[in-house]
Structure 1
Amino acid sequence: MLEIKFCENNYTHGIEDVVNKIKEQLENVTVEVESCLGYCGDCAVGPFALVDDELVQADTPEELLEEIKGYL
Structure 2
Amino acid sequence: MNPIVEFCISNLAKGGQVVFDELSQDEHLDVLEYGCLTYCGQCNDSLYALVNGDIITGETPEALKKNIYQHIEETWNF
Q: TM-score, normalised by structure 2?
A: 0.84
Equivalent position of 2:56 in the other structure: 56
Deviation at 1:69, TM superposition (A): 1.2
RMSD across aligned positions (CA): 1.0
Deviation at 1:65, TM superposition (A): 0.3
C-alpha distance in structure 1 between counterparts of 2:55 and 2:23, whole Å: 17
Residue deviations 1:24-49, cap 9 Å, x none? 2x232111100000100000111000
Equivalent position of 1:15 in the other structure: 16
C-alpha distance in structure 1 between counterparts of 2:6 and 2:38, whole Å: 12
C-alpha distance in structure 2 between counterparts of 1:27 and 1:64, whole Å: 19
C-alpha distance in structure 2 between counterparts of 1:62 and 1:13, whole Å: 13
> What is the one-letter code of the residue matched to 2:49?
A
**Which has the higher relative contact order, 1 or 2, with Cα contacts under 8 A spaced 6 or more apart?**
1
Point out the structure with max Rg over C-alpha: 2
Unaligned runs of 5+ in 2: 74-78
Deviation at 1:67, TM superposition (A): 0.6
Following superposition, which runs of at least 4 residues in structure 1 exceed 3 angstroms of deviation? none
C-alpha distance in structure 2 between counterparts of 1:54 and 1:2, whole Å: 11
Unaligned runs of 5+ in 1: none
Report the 3-state secondary structure (helix = DSSP H, G, I; strand = E; otherwise coil) of the residue aligned with 2:23.
helix
